[in-house]
């Protein structure tokens, strides 16, 4: 199995894309440690342990830099190394730009950018010492490629992660560390379900169907499909790939016009 013997840290791994990544990593033989602030974390870990799967967890806010460094150091003491880091944790709140408070803006910046920065800065020295590492950052098609109204803060942070990925990749390439980004389109996650409810609280399922109708593949992606891409970028199969971003969106950003019919 391509991740056999690897130790992986996945932020935001208790639900959505993060859980898809954790499940696929486990399938390929990795030991996984989840960093998450969700109240669901305890129940998720109990499910994994009931199946005797090698998953550990720390309930931690990635905005807390001091605590993050403490957790990462503890992981290295327990497992001897960290081979893979997936920066998946992120937030999204739809608010018109003129109505957005500084608090909501900073919430996006502090979690999506600074949180990713904190965890990565804690992990990279250990990867440099072992001359090996795989870092995968969850960006989005929103920001680098497309955007909708209300997404200014979210789009800004996700675009910033592309620059973060490229800059860091150049700094650590000679240390045997690769850094890549994934740009998902619509994946069926609690975040998408929340957006659907915000858009139409009475019939969110119709909102999801409307989203799917605008995707050439005719459906949203699954968290397992995203997990497979993350596993590829986290494995030695991607050994000659660094500083790049990979879109996984069912061709939603491909059409030149609004119509996707053929």
CATH number, domain at 93? 3.40.50.720
* Residue 77 and residue 143 share a domain: yes
Catalytic residues: 154
Does any domain span residue 63? yes
Residue 181 pLDDT greater than 70, yes or no: yes
Does any domain span residue 80? yes
| Measured distance CA(234)–CA(183) in Å, rounded | 15
Q: Tens of pLDDT along 102-116?
A: 999 999 999 999 999
Does any domain span residue 259? no
Q: Residue 210: name the closest of 222, 225, 199, 224 by CA.
A: 199
Residue 72: Cβ within 10 Å count? 26
Which tokens belong to 230?
């993350």
Q: Residue 205's pLDDT is what?
A: 82
Three-state SS annotation for 118-144: HHHHHHHHHHHHHCCEEEEEECCCECC
Residue 201 pLDDT greater than 80, yes or no: no
Does any domain span residue 170? yes
* Residue 162 and residue 205 share a domain: no
* Residue 234 and residue 143 share a domain: yes
Confidence band for 156, pLDDT divided at 50, 70 and 90: very high
* Residue 242 and residue 191 share a domain: no
* Residue 192 and residue 181 share a domain: no
Does any domain span residue 258? no
* Residue 109 and residue 238 share a domain: yes
The rounded percent of the chain whose pLDDT value lies above 90 is 89
Q: Residue 262's pLDDT is what?
A: 45
Does any domain span residue 74? yes
* Residue 206 and residue 138 share a domain: no
Does any domain span residue 32? yes
Listed in sequence order, the DSSP H helices in the chain are: 16-27, 41-50, 65-79, 102-108, 116-130, 152-172, 190-199, 204-213, 223-234
* Residue 158 and residue 139 share a domain: yes
Q: Count of domains in the chain?
A: 2
Does any domain span residue 2? no
pTM listed for this prediction:
0.94
Q: Residue 207's pLDDT is what?
A: 84
Buried b (16+ CB within 10 A) or exposed e, 151-185: bbbbbbbbbbbbebbbebbeebeeeebbbbbbbbb
Domain of residue 206 covers 186-220
* Residue 228 and residue 196 share a domain: no
């Amino acid at each position: 199995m391509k991740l056999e013997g690897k130790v992986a840290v996945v932020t935001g791994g208790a639900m959505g894309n993060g859980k898809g990544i954790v499940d696929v990593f486990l399938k390929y033989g990795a030991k996984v440690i989840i960093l998450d602030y969700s109240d669901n974390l305890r129940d998720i870990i109990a499910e994994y342990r009931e199946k005797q799967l090698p998953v550990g967890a720390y309930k931690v806010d990635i905005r807390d830099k001091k605590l993050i460094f403490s957790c990462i150091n503890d992981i290295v003491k327990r497992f001897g190394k960290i081979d893979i880091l997936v920066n998946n944790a992120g937030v999204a709140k739809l608010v018109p730009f003129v109505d957005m408070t500084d608090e909501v803006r900073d919430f996006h910046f502090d979690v999506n950018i600074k949180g990713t920065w904190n965890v990565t800065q804690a992990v990279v020295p250990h990867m440099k010492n072992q001359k090996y590492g795989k870092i995968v950052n969850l960006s989005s098609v929103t920001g680098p490629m497309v955007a909708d109204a209300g997404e200014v803060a979210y789009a800004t942070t996700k675009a910033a992660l592309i620059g973060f990925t490229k800059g860091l990749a150049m700094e650590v390439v000679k240390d045997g560390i690769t850094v890549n980004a994934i740009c998902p389109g619509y994946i069926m996650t609690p975040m998408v379900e929340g957006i659907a409810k915000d858009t139409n609280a009475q019939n969110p399922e119709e909102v999801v169907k409307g989203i799917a109708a605008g995707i050439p593949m005719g459906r949203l992606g699954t968290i397992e499909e995203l997990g497979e891409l993350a596993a590829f970028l986290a494995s030695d199969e991607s050994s000659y790939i660094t500083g790049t971003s990979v879109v996984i969106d069912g061709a939603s950003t491909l059409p030149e016009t609004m119509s996707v019919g053929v």
